[in-house]
Amino acid sequence: MTTAAIIVAAGRGTRAGGDLPKQWRILRGRPVAAYAMSRFASHPAIAQLILVVHADDIETQAWPREPDATVVAGGATRAASVRAGLDAVGDNIETVLIHDAARPLVNDALIDRVLAALETSDGAAPALAVTDTLWQGADGAVQGVQDRAGLFRAQTPQGFRLAPLRAAHAAATGHETDDVAVARAAGLDVTIVAGDEDNLKITTPEDFDRAERLMRQNMDIRVGNGYDVHRFGPGDHVWLCGVQVPHTRSLQGHSDADVGMHAVTDAIYGALGKGDIGQHFPPSDPQWKGAASHIFLKHAVALAKSEGFEIGNADCTLVCEQPKIGPHQDAMKAVMAAYMGLDSGRISVKATTSERLGFTGREEGIASIATVTLIKT
């Protein structure tokens, strides 16, 4: 069963507060829609990811980047937007999952339940049985009690076999509120699978708070350390944390020998469990001779991003008697922050001597240690 995921993000709703449509508002540092996009992109069963955005957003290219996602312009209604997504589905696809971009907390188990039900059904969708008592009310007073037996709260992703869904959309009247309604109007059976309370749809400002709380509970936090040493040789400057510092000698190395940047880079690789600079940029490879170390740092940052991690902070200590680091500290923080795409408040560069002890004390070289945290929500 080859499956495409269609993320519908073409709405203009601003009920959740702010000036931006809710799917583009920032939730814990990323647009709301980015969460569902990366969840489906990393799910092993999803062969194609389609993002349907508003025509205005197509022009401004205002959507989160997910490599390999197909981005299409939606229509005037939700159904028209879904049809635009269906038009972009590849020839090899047999089933589609249609998901609301405003549900950032969709998880793999929920996606798996929908896919499993599609093995034996033309349609499947998650839902939660209504357990609260349902009132009818008017003017702030209870007017009656509604029978809740057999009532469900519908969620997404809603999954369908592609061919029957396409036929159902072609025959739709335009009055259906979701794809299950479109499918049922065409006579398709839709199986209910267990939904998830956490798979909330962001609608109000309170929903942002709740989503943030839930994401904090599910956070994956990594810590990595890095250590590096370079020896002094002839020269008149050293590169430290991306800043050229005048000195009576230079650090020797295959690259520009930026010992601080190397320690931070290795700390990122360490937190990811993905080796070190030497593995990614072998010294035996002549193309890295004299290379600017920000190439290594940017690679590590991009690797962390591709694994779904954001950098929480980086703390780097330089161990040397000379040169004096203090006058360059702020510039180093600013340069490192720029390379890492972070606020400079999340970067620390500090220095210590080793009380004239050991190789750093004898001024034979400079050592550096660094710690980095990575956060996935």
Binding site for Mg ion (CB under 5 A): 228, 262
Residues 6+ apart with CB under 8 A from 310: 29, 30, 304, 374, 375, 376, 377
Cβ nearer to Mg ion, comparing 98 with 301: 301
Cβ nearer to Mg ion, comparing 85 with 226: 226
Kindly state the smallest distance separating residue 262's Cβ from Mg ion, in Å.
4
Kindly state the smallest distance separating residue 36's Cβ from Mg ion, in Å.
39
Helical segments of the chain, H only: 32-42, 55-60, 78-87, 108-118, 162-170, 179-185, 205-217, 259-272, 277-280, 294-306, 329-340, 358-361
Residue nearest to Mg ion (CB): 262
Q: Which amino acid belongs to residue 123? A: G
Cβ nearer to Mg ion, comparing 152 with 359: 359
Kindly state the smallest distance separating residue 355's Cβ from Mg ion, in Å.
24
Residues 70 and 4: beta-carbon distance below 8 Å: no
Residue 336: count of CB within 10 angstroms of its CB:
25
d(CA 172, CA 188): 13
d(CA 266, CA 297): 9
Cβ nearer to Mg ion, comparing 199 with 360: 360
Kindly state the smallest distance separating residue 308's Cβ from Mg ion, in Å.
27
Residue 152 pairs with which residues in a beta bridge? 129
CA 33 to chain centre: 9
Cβ nearer to Mg ion, comparing 210 with 237: 237
Of 133, 128, 116, the closest CA to residue 198 belongs to: 128
Q: How many CA atoms lie within 13 A of 215 on its CB side?
A: 21
Cβ nearer to Mg ion, comparing 38 with 255: 255
Kindly state the smallest distance separating residue 228's Cβ from Mg ion, in Å.
4
Provide the token pair at 84: 């635009």
Cβ nearer to Mg ion, comparing 152 with 227: 227
Kindly state the smallest distance separating residue 371's Cβ from Mg ion, in Å.
17
Cβ nearer to Mg ion, comparing 73 with 292: 292
Kindly state the smallest distance separating residue 293's Cβ from Mg ion, in Å.
8
Residues 6+ apart with CB under 8 A from 47: 2, 3, 4, 90, 92, 93
d(CA 168, CA 96): 14
Kindly state the smallest distance separating residue 288's Cβ from Mg ion, in Å.
11
